A and B are shown apart, each in its own frame.
Chain A
Amino acid sequence: MTTLGELTASIAHEVNQPLAAVVANAQACLRWLDREIPDLDAARRSVEWIVNDGNRASEVIRRVRALANKTDIEKAPLDIDDLVKEVSALVQRELISHRVSLRLELAPTLPMILGDRVQLQQVMINLVMNGIEAMQSVTDRPRQLAIRSGQDETHEVLVSVTDCGVGISAENADRLFNAFFTTKSGGMGMGLSICRSIVEAHGGRLSASGNEGPGATFQFVLPVHQEDAS
Protein backbone atom coordinates (compact mmCIF):
# COMPACT_ATOMS: atom_id res chain seq x y z
CA MET A 1 0.00 0.00 0.00
CA THR A 2 1.50 3.28 -1.11
CA THR A 3 0.06 6.19 0.81
CA LEU A 4 0.15 9.72 -0.49
CA GLY A 5 2.64 10.43 2.28
CA GLU A 6 5.07 7.96 0.74
CA LEU A 7 4.30 9.32 -2.69
CA THR A 8 5.11 12.86 -1.65
CA ALA A 9 8.28 11.70 0.11
CA SER A 10 9.42 10.15 -3.13
CA ILE A 11 8.51 13.29 -5.08
CA ALA A 12 10.49 15.31 -2.57
CA HIS A 13 13.46 13.00 -3.12
CA GLU A 14 13.13 13.29 -6.90
CA VAL A 15 13.18 17.08 -6.72
CA ASN A 16 15.82 17.34 -4.04
CA GLN A 17 18.39 15.24 -5.89
CA PRO A 18 18.77 17.57 -8.89
CA LEU A 19 18.62 20.59 -6.57
CA ALA A 20 21.44 19.19 -4.44
CA ALA A 21 23.38 18.61 -7.66
CA VAL A 22 22.72 22.20 -8.75
CA VAL A 23 24.05 23.52 -5.45
CA ALA A 24 27.16 21.30 -5.50
CA ASN A 25 27.94 22.18 -9.12
CA ALA A 26 27.49 25.88 -8.40
CA GLN A 27 29.83 25.68 -5.42
CA ALA A 28 32.36 23.74 -7.50
CA CYS A 29 32.04 26.39 -10.23
CA LEU A 30 32.95 29.13 -7.75
CA ARG A 31 35.98 27.14 -6.68
CA TRP A 32 37.12 26.68 -10.27
CA LEU A 33 36.80 30.45 -10.78
CA ASP A 34 38.51 31.28 -7.49
CA ARG A 35 41.63 29.33 -8.41
CA GLU A 36 44.80 31.32 -8.83
CA ILE A 37 44.46 30.71 -12.55
CA PRO A 38 40.69 30.35 -13.01
CA ASP A 39 39.76 27.16 -14.84
CA LEU A 40 37.15 28.56 -17.19
CA ASP A 41 36.51 25.29 -19.02
CA ALA A 42 35.67 23.51 -15.78
CA ALA A 43 33.55 26.47 -14.68
CA ARG A 44 31.62 26.50 -17.97
CA ARG A 45 31.08 22.73 -17.74
CA SER A 46 29.75 23.18 -14.19
CA VAL A 47 27.26 25.80 -15.37
CA GLU A 48 26.06 23.54 -18.19
CA TRP A 49 25.39 20.82 -15.64
CA ILE A 50 23.54 23.31 -13.46
CA VAL A 51 21.28 24.08 -16.43
CA ASN A 52 20.69 20.35 -17.03
CA ASP A 53 19.92 19.59 -13.41
CA GLY A 54 17.70 22.65 -13.04
CA ASN A 55 15.69 21.51 -16.05
CA ARG A 56 15.45 18.04 -14.58
CA ALA A 57 14.00 19.38 -11.32
CA SER A 58 11.46 21.34 -13.28
CA GLU A 59 10.63 18.24 -15.37
CA VAL A 60 9.89 16.28 -12.19
CA ILE A 61 7.46 18.96 -11.10
CA ARG A 62 5.83 18.98 -14.54
CA ARG A 63 5.34 15.21 -14.30
CA VAL A 64 3.78 15.49 -10.85
CA ARG A 65 1.33 18.09 -12.14
CA ALA A 66 0.47 15.84 -15.07
CA LEU A 67 -0.05 12.97 -12.64
CA ALA A 68 -2.40 15.02 -10.49
CA ASN A 69 -4.44 16.22 -13.49
CA LYS A 70 -4.26 12.87 -15.18
CA THR A 71 -7.20 12.62 -17.59
CA ASP A 72 -6.69 9.01 -18.57
CA ILE A 73 -7.88 7.67 -15.25
CA GLU A 74 -9.32 4.19 -15.56
CA LYS A 75 -12.92 4.71 -14.75
CA ALA A 76 -15.18 1.79 -13.99
CA PRO A 77 -18.57 1.54 -12.28
CA LEU A 78 -17.91 1.25 -8.55
CA ASP A 79 -19.93 0.67 -5.43
CA ILE A 80 -18.65 3.28 -3.02
CA ASP A 81 -19.55 1.14 0.00
CA ASP A 82 -17.31 -1.66 -1.28
CA LEU A 83 -14.53 0.89 -1.61
CA VAL A 84 -15.02 2.11 1.98
CA LYS A 85 -14.88 -1.48 3.26
CA GLU A 86 -11.69 -2.17 1.31
CA VAL A 87 -10.10 0.96 2.70
CA SER A 88 -11.11 0.15 6.27
CA ALA A 89 -9.39 -3.23 5.85
CA LEU A 90 -6.24 -1.55 4.50
CA VAL A 91 -5.97 0.89 7.41
CA GLN A 92 -6.72 -1.71 10.13
CA ARG A 93 -3.10 -1.83 11.35
CA GLU A 94 -2.78 1.94 11.55
CA LEU A 95 -6.02 2.14 13.50
CA ILE A 96 -4.89 -0.46 16.01
CA SER A 97 -1.42 0.95 16.50
CA HIS A 98 -2.88 4.43 17.16
CA ARG A 99 -5.73 3.07 19.31
CA VAL A 100 -8.41 4.52 17.09
CA SER A 101 -11.82 2.90 16.76
CA LEU A 102 -13.51 3.07 13.38
CA ARG A 103 -17.25 3.24 12.87
CA LEU A 104 -18.79 2.69 9.45
CA GLU A 105 -22.22 4.18 8.76
CA LEU A 106 -22.96 3.12 5.24
CA ALA A 107 -26.14 3.78 3.30
CA PRO A 108 -27.32 0.35 2.13
CA THR A 109 -28.38 0.97 -1.46
CA LEU A 110 -26.33 3.65 -3.13
CA PRO A 111 -26.17 4.12 -6.87
CA MET A 112 -22.91 3.20 -8.58
CA ILE A 113 -20.37 5.88 -9.36
CA LEU A 114 -17.86 5.95 -12.20
CA GLY A 115 -14.33 6.17 -10.96
CA ASP A 116 -10.76 4.94 -10.68
CA ARG A 117 -10.70 2.44 -7.85
CA VAL A 118 -7.06 2.96 -6.84
CA GLN A 119 -7.21 6.73 -6.95
CA LEU A 120 -10.38 6.93 -4.90
CA GLN A 121 -8.89 4.49 -2.40
CA GLN A 122 -5.90 6.81 -2.15
CA VAL A 123 -8.19 9.72 -1.35
CA MET A 124 -9.98 7.78 1.40
CA ILE A 125 -6.75 6.37 2.86
CA ASN A 126 -5.32 9.85 2.97
CA LEU A 127 -8.40 11.26 4.73
CA VAL A 128 -8.35 8.40 7.26
CA MET A 129 -4.61 8.84 7.91
CA ASN A 130 -5.14 12.57 8.41
CA GLY A 131 -7.93 11.81 10.86
CA ILE A 132 -5.72 9.39 12.78
CA GLU A 133 -2.94 11.96 12.96
CA ALA A 134 -5.33 14.69 14.07
CA MET A 135 -6.24 12.53 17.08
CA GLN A 136 -2.68 11.65 18.02
CA SER A 137 -2.64 14.21 20.84
CA VAL A 138 -6.10 13.26 22.12
CA THR A 139 -5.92 11.54 25.52
CA ASP A 140 -9.03 12.72 27.37
CA ARG A 141 -11.62 11.09 25.09
CA PRO A 142 -11.89 7.98 22.95
CA ARG A 143 -10.24 8.35 19.57
CA GLN A 144 -13.12 7.73 17.22
CA LEU A 145 -13.20 7.91 13.48
CA ALA A 146 -16.39 7.58 11.45
CA ILE A 147 -16.79 6.99 7.74
CA ARG A 148 -20.27 7.64 6.43
CA SER A 149 -21.73 7.20 2.99
CA GLY A 150 -24.97 8.56 1.61
CA GLN A 151 -26.55 10.80 -0.97
CA ASP A 152 -26.90 14.54 -0.77
CA GLU A 153 -29.93 16.64 -1.77
CA THR A 154 -28.87 16.53 -5.45
CA HIS A 155 -28.55 12.72 -5.19
CA GLU A 156 -24.82 12.77 -5.64
CA VAL A 157 -22.93 10.09 -3.72
CA LEU A 158 -21.27 11.41 -0.61
CA VAL A 159 -18.53 10.04 1.64
CA SER A 160 -17.42 11.74 4.83
CA VAL A 161 -14.62 11.03 7.27
CA THR A 162 -15.12 12.47 10.75
CA ASP A 163 -12.53 12.56 13.50
CA CYS A 164 -12.56 14.02 16.99
CA GLY A 165 -9.04 15.41 16.87
CA VAL A 166 -7.54 18.87 16.98
CA GLY A 167 -9.97 20.27 14.41
CA ILE A 168 -9.39 23.04 11.91
CA SER A 169 -8.67 26.60 12.94
CA ALA A 170 -10.56 29.30 11.02
CA GLU A 171 -7.36 30.77 9.63
CA ASN A 172 -6.26 27.41 8.20
CA ALA A 173 -9.61 26.44 6.72
CA ASP A 174 -9.00 28.31 3.46
CA ARG A 175 -5.48 27.02 2.96
CA LEU A 176 -6.04 23.34 3.77
CA PHE A 177 -6.10 22.23 0.17
CA ASN A 178 -3.21 24.36 -1.03
CA ALA A 179 -0.15 22.44 -2.16
CA PHE A 180 2.68 22.62 0.37
CA PHE A 181 0.40 23.84 3.15
CA THR A 182 0.74 21.63 6.20
CA THR A 183 0.30 21.78 9.96
CA LYS A 184 2.30 18.58 10.50
CA SER A 185 5.96 18.76 11.50
CA GLY A 186 7.02 16.06 9.05
CA GLY A 187 4.42 16.81 6.38
CA MET A 188 4.95 17.97 2.83
CA GLY A 189 1.53 19.51 2.40
CA MET A 190 0.76 17.52 -0.72
CA GLY A 191 -1.82 15.01 0.47
CA LEU A 192 -5.02 17.07 0.52
CA SER A 193 -4.03 18.99 -2.56
CA ILE A 194 -3.62 15.76 -4.52
CA CYS A 195 -6.86 14.40 -3.02
CA ARG A 196 -8.77 17.42 -4.23
CA SER A 197 -7.25 17.07 -7.72
CA ILE A 198 -8.31 13.43 -7.87
CA VAL A 199 -11.86 14.13 -6.71
CA GLU A 200 -12.21 17.01 -9.16
CA ALA A 201 -10.89 14.81 -11.97
CA HIS A 202 -13.88 12.60 -11.16
CA GLY A 203 -16.23 15.54 -11.49
CA GLY A 204 -16.69 15.74 -7.73
CA ARG A 205 -15.88 18.12 -4.85
CA LEU A 206 -13.82 17.70 -1.67
CA SER A 207 -14.46 19.95 1.28
CA ALA A 208 -13.66 20.23 4.97
CA SER A 209 -15.49 21.63 7.97
CA GLY A 210 -15.06 21.82 11.71
CA ASN A 211 -17.39 19.69 13.84
CA GLU A 212 -19.91 20.97 16.40
CA GLY A 213 -17.82 19.17 18.99
CA PRO A 214 -14.07 18.51 18.68
CA GLY A 215 -12.54 17.43 15.41
CA ALA A 216 -13.13 17.87 11.73
CA THR A 217 -15.06 16.30 8.87
CA PHE A 218 -13.75 15.85 5.35
CA GLN A 219 -16.31 15.02 2.76
CA PHE A 220 -16.39 14.41 -0.96
CA VAL A 221 -19.26 14.03 -3.36
CA LEU A 222 -19.15 12.21 -6.68
CA PRO A 223 -21.65 12.23 -9.53
CA VAL A 224 -23.76 9.13 -10.01
CA HIS A 225 -22.88 6.81 -12.90
CA GLN A 226 -25.26 7.85 -15.69
CA GLU A 227 -26.61 4.37 -16.52
CA ASP A 228 -27.46 4.05 -12.87
CA ALA A 229 -29.18 7.42 -12.56
CA SER A 230 -32.87 7.05 -13.13
Chain B
Amino acid sequence: MTERPKSSHEPASAREPIVFVIDDDASMRRALTNLFQSVGLEVEVFGSAPELLQSKLPDAASCLVLDIRLPGVSGLDFQTELAKANIHIPIIFMTGHGDIPMTVRAMKGGAVDFLTKPFRDQDMLDAVVTAIERDRKRREVGKIVANLQALFETLTPREREILALVASGLMNKQIAAEVGLAEITVKIHRGHIMKKWARGR
Protein backbone atom coordinates (compact mmCIF):
# COMPACT_ATOMS: atom_id res chain seq x y z
CA MET B 1 0.00 0.00 0.00
CA THR B 2 1.43 3.34 -0.97
CA GLU B 3 -1.83 5.26 -0.48
CA ARG B 4 -2.65 6.84 2.80
CA PRO B 5 -5.98 5.67 4.21
CA LYS B 6 -8.62 8.30 3.55
CA SER B 7 -12.09 8.51 4.93
CA SER B 8 -14.69 10.04 2.62
CA HIS B 9 -16.43 12.07 5.31
CA GLU B 10 -13.41 13.38 7.16
CA PRO B 11 -14.09 16.71 8.88
CA ALA B 12 -12.07 19.52 7.31
CA SER B 13 -10.46 20.47 10.63
CA ALA B 14 -9.05 17.01 11.40
CA ARG B 15 -5.28 16.58 11.10
CA GLU B 16 -3.52 13.91 9.10
CA PRO B 17 -3.40 10.54 10.86
CA ILE B 18 -0.27 10.07 12.91
CA VAL B 19 1.70 7.04 14.07
CA PHE B 20 3.36 7.22 17.49
CA VAL B 21 6.31 4.96 18.15
CA ILE B 22 7.86 4.07 21.49
CA ASP B 23 11.13 2.15 21.30
CA ASP B 24 14.17 2.54 23.54
CA ASP B 25 16.47 1.81 20.61
CA ALA B 26 17.49 4.84 18.54
CA SER B 27 18.20 2.78 15.39
CA MET B 28 14.79 1.22 15.60
CA ARG B 29 13.09 4.61 16.00
CA ARG B 30 14.97 5.90 12.98
CA ALA B 31 14.11 2.83 10.90
CA LEU B 32 10.41 2.94 11.78
CA THR B 33 10.28 6.66 11.01
CA ASN B 34 11.90 5.92 7.66
CA LEU B 35 9.46 3.13 6.87
CA PHE B 36 6.33 5.11 7.76
CA GLN B 37 7.54 8.21 5.93
CA SER B 38 8.27 6.15 2.83
CA VAL B 39 4.52 5.52 2.51
CA GLY B 40 3.64 9.12 3.44
CA LEU B 41 2.53 8.56 7.02
CA GLU B 42 3.23 11.11 9.73
CA VAL B 43 5.34 9.75 12.58
CA GLU B 44 6.35 10.86 16.03
CA VAL B 45 8.84 8.81 18.05
CA PHE B 46 9.58 8.52 21.75
CA GLY B 47 12.27 6.73 23.72
CA SER B 48 10.05 5.81 26.65
CA ALA B 49 6.45 5.72 27.82
CA PRO B 50 6.73 8.80 30.12
CA GLU B 51 8.12 10.86 27.22
CA LEU B 52 4.95 10.16 25.27
CA LEU B 53 2.72 10.96 28.23
CA GLN B 54 4.49 14.29 28.78
CA SER B 55 4.04 15.46 25.21
CA LYS B 56 0.82 17.03 24.03
CA LEU B 57 -0.87 14.62 21.66
CA PRO B 58 -2.45 16.25 18.62
CA ASP B 59 -6.14 15.90 17.85
CA ALA B 60 -5.85 13.36 15.04
CA ALA B 61 -6.62 9.73 14.33
CA SER B 62 -3.58 7.89 15.59
CA CYS B 63 -2.12 4.61 16.75
CA LEU B 64 0.77 3.54 18.92
CA VAL B 65 3.56 1.18 17.86
CA LEU B 66 5.11 -0.06 21.05
CA ASP B 67 8.03 -2.30 21.94
CA ILE B 68 6.90 -4.74 24.59
CA ARG B 69 10.27 -4.48 26.28
CA LEU B 70 10.70 -0.90 27.46
CA PRO B 71 12.95 0.59 30.09
CA GLY B 72 11.02 1.02 33.34
CA VAL B 73 7.40 0.11 32.72
CA SER B 74 6.86 -2.80 30.31
CA GLY B 75 4.82 -2.34 27.16
CA LEU B 76 2.07 -4.55 28.53
CA ASP B 77 1.85 -2.57 31.77
CA PHE B 78 1.79 0.65 29.79
CA GLN B 79 -1.17 -0.72 27.83
CA THR B 80 -3.00 -1.31 31.12
CA GLU B 81 -2.01 2.15 32.36
CA LEU B 82 -3.38 3.84 29.25
CA ALA B 83 -6.65 1.95 29.55
CA LYS B 84 -6.97 3.03 33.19
CA ALA B 85 -6.29 6.65 32.22
CA ASN B 86 -9.12 6.32 29.67
CA ILE B 87 -6.76 6.77 26.71
CA HIS B 88 -8.00 4.46 23.99
CA ILE B 89 -5.31 4.74 21.34
CA PRO B 90 -5.04 1.44 19.37
CA ILE B 91 -1.75 -0.36 20.05
CA ILE B 92 0.49 -2.50 17.86
CA PHE B 93 3.09 -4.41 19.84
CA MET B 94 6.56 -5.30 18.67
CA THR B 95 8.77 -7.82 20.36
CA GLY B 96 12.12 -9.46 19.81
CA HIS B 97 11.03 -12.73 21.34
CA GLY B 98 7.32 -13.06 22.02
CA ASP B 99 5.83 -15.93 23.90
CA ILE B 100 2.23 -17.07 23.82
CA PRO B 101 1.12 -15.77 27.27
CA MET B 102 2.48 -12.33 26.33
CA THR B 103 0.61 -12.33 23.04
CA VAL B 104 -2.59 -13.45 24.70
CA ARG B 105 -2.37 -10.70 27.30
CA ALA B 106 -1.67 -8.05 24.67
CA MET B 107 -4.55 -9.13 22.45
CA LYS B 108 -6.96 -9.41 25.40
CA GLY B 109 -5.96 -5.86 26.29
CA GLY B 110 -7.23 -4.78 22.89
CA ALA B 111 -4.00 -4.71 20.88
CA VAL B 112 -4.46 -4.52 17.12
CA ASP B 113 -1.52 -6.75 16.32
CA PHE B 114 1.58 -8.36 17.75
CA LEU B 115 4.62 -8.37 15.48
CA THR B 116 7.96 -10.09 15.96
CA LYS B 117 11.11 -8.13 15.16
CA PRO B 118 12.25 -8.12 12.44
CA PHE B 119 8.77 -7.78 10.94
CA ARG B 120 7.60 -7.74 7.34
CA ASP B 121 6.97 -4.11 6.32
CA GLN B 122 3.60 -5.02 4.81
CA ASP B 123 2.46 -6.62 8.07
CA MET B 124 3.40 -3.49 10.00
CA LEU B 125 1.75 -1.14 7.50
CA ASP B 126 -1.42 -3.25 7.36
CA ALA B 127 -1.60 -3.21 11.16
CA VAL B 128 -1.13 0.56 11.24
CA VAL B 129 -3.86 1.15 8.65
CA THR B 130 -6.26 -1.07 10.61
CA ALA B 131 -5.38 0.69 13.85
CA ILE B 132 -5.80 4.20 12.44
CA GLU B 133 -9.13 3.25 10.88
CA ARG B 134 -10.26 1.85 14.23
CA ASP B 135 -9.23 5.07 15.96
CA ARG B 136 -10.95 7.22 13.35
CA LYS B 137 -14.25 5.37 13.88
CA ARG B 138 -13.91 5.65 17.63
CA ARG B 139 -13.24 9.37 17.35
CA GLU B 140 -16.23 9.90 15.05
CA VAL B 141 -18.57 8.18 17.47
CA GLY B 142 -17.04 10.20 20.29
CA LYS B 143 -17.61 13.41 18.36
CA ILE B 144 -21.26 12.60 17.68
CA VAL B 145 -21.86 11.87 21.34
CA ALA B 146 -20.08 15.09 22.34
CA ASN B 147 -22.18 17.09 19.86
CA LEU B 148 -25.37 15.62 21.22
CA GLN B 149 -24.31 16.39 24.74
CA ALA B 150 -23.46 19.98 23.82
CA LEU B 151 -26.85 20.35 22.14
CA PHE B 152 -28.63 18.93 25.16
CA GLU B 153 -26.87 21.53 27.31
CA THR B 154 -28.48 24.35 25.28
CA LEU B 155 -32.02 23.10 25.98
CA THR B 156 -34.19 24.62 28.74
CA PRO B 157 -35.39 22.26 31.49
CA ARG B 158 -38.86 22.24 29.90
CA GLU B 159 -37.45 21.43 26.47
CA ARG B 160 -35.40 18.58 27.96
CA GLU B 161 -38.52 17.19 29.61
CA ILE B 162 -40.42 17.31 26.35
CA LEU B 163 -37.51 15.87 24.34
CA ALA B 164 -37.45 12.86 26.65
CA LEU B 165 -41.17 12.28 26.09
CA VAL B 166 -40.82 12.70 22.31
CA ALA B 167 -37.97 10.22 22.34
CA SER B 168 -40.12 7.73 24.24
CA GLY B 169 -42.58 7.84 21.31
CA LEU B 170 -45.47 9.91 22.69
CA MET B 171 -47.61 12.13 20.43
CA ASN B 172 -47.95 15.89 21.03
CA LYS B 173 -51.40 15.44 22.54
CA GLN B 174 -50.15 12.82 24.98
CA ILE B 175 -47.13 14.94 25.90
CA ALA B 176 -49.38 17.92 26.53
CA ALA B 177 -51.47 15.86 28.93
CA GLU B 178 -48.37 14.47 30.59
CA VAL B 179 -46.78 17.84 31.38
CA GLY B 180 -49.98 19.83 31.76
CA LEU B 181 -49.54 22.19 28.82
CA ALA B 182 -51.62 23.07 25.78
CA GLU B 183 -50.83 21.01 22.71
CA ILE B 184 -49.87 24.20 20.84
CA THR B 185 -47.28 25.04 23.52
CA VAL B 186 -45.78 21.59 23.17
CA LYS B 187 -45.56 22.16 19.42
CA ILE B 188 -43.72 25.46 19.99
CA HIS B 189 -41.23 23.76 22.34
CA ARG B 190 -40.67 21.05 19.75
CA GLY B 191 -40.04 23.73 17.18
CA HIS B 192 -37.41 25.32 19.39
CA ILE B 193 -35.71 21.98 19.93
CA MET B 194 -35.65 21.34 16.18
CA LYS B 195 -34.15 24.77 15.52
CA LYS B 196 -31.40 24.29 18.07
CA TRP B 197 -30.72 20.84 16.64
CA ALA B 198 -30.39 22.25 13.14
CA ARG B 199 -28.03 24.94 14.39
CA GLY B 200 -26.00 22.47 16.45
CA ARG B 201 -25.19 20.25 13.49
Contact = CB atoms under 8 A, between A and B. Distances in A.
B28 A42 contact: no
Contact of B27 (A13, A21, A28): A21
Give the interface size bracket for B toward A.
20 to 34
A221 B167 CA distance: 88
A24 B25 CA distance: 13
B69 A28 contact: no
A23 B97 contact: no
Contacts of A90: none
Contact of B31 (A25, A35, A39, A42): A25
B8 interface: no
Contact of A20 (B31, B37, B38, B69): B31
Contacts of A56: 27
A27 B118 CA distance: 11
A185 to B, nearest CB: 11
A186 to B, nearest CB: 8
A53 B31 contact: yes
Given A28-B121, A32-B38, A42-B38, A12 B28 contact: no
A17 B28 contact: yes
A52 B27 contact: yes
A80 to B, nearest CB: 35
A35 B30 contact: no
Interface in B27-73: 27-28, 30-32, 34-35, 37-39, 69
Contacts of B96: 12-13, 16-17, 20
A48 B35 CA distance: 14
A12 B124 CA distance: 22
B39 A20 contact: no
B39 A9 contact: no
Contact of B38 (A17, A28, A49): A28
Give the interface size bracket for A toward B.
20 to 34
Contact of B121 (A12, A13, A22, A24): A24
A17 B30 contact: no
B2 interface: yes
Nearest to A23: B118
Interface in A208-225: none
Interface string A44-72: 01100100110010000000000000000
Contact of B69 (A13, A35, A52): A13
B123 to A, nearest CB: 10
Contact of B97 (A9, A22, A24, A39): A9
B117 interface: yes
B117 A17 contact: yes
Contacts of A20: 28, 31, 94, 96, 117-119
Given A16-B117, A42-B34, A49-B31, 8 more contacts: A13-B69, A13-B97, A16-B96, A16-B118, A19-B117, A35-B2, A42-B38, A49-B27
24 contacts: A13-B96, A16-B97, A17-B117, A18-B27, A19-B117, A20-B31, A20-B118, A21-B30, A24-B32, A24-B35, A24-B118, A24-B121, A24-B124, A28-B121, A31-B2, A31-B35, A35-B2, A39-B38, A42-B34, A42-B37, A42-B38, A49-B30, A49-B31, A56-B27
Interface of A: 9, 12-13, 16-25, 27-29, 31-32, 34-35, 39, 42, 45-46, 49, 52-53, 56
**Which 10 A-B pairs rank lowest in CB-CB distance, beginning with the nearest?**
A27-B121, A20-B117, A23-B118, A24-B31, A21-B27, A21-B31, A31-B38, A20-B118, A28-B35, A28-B34
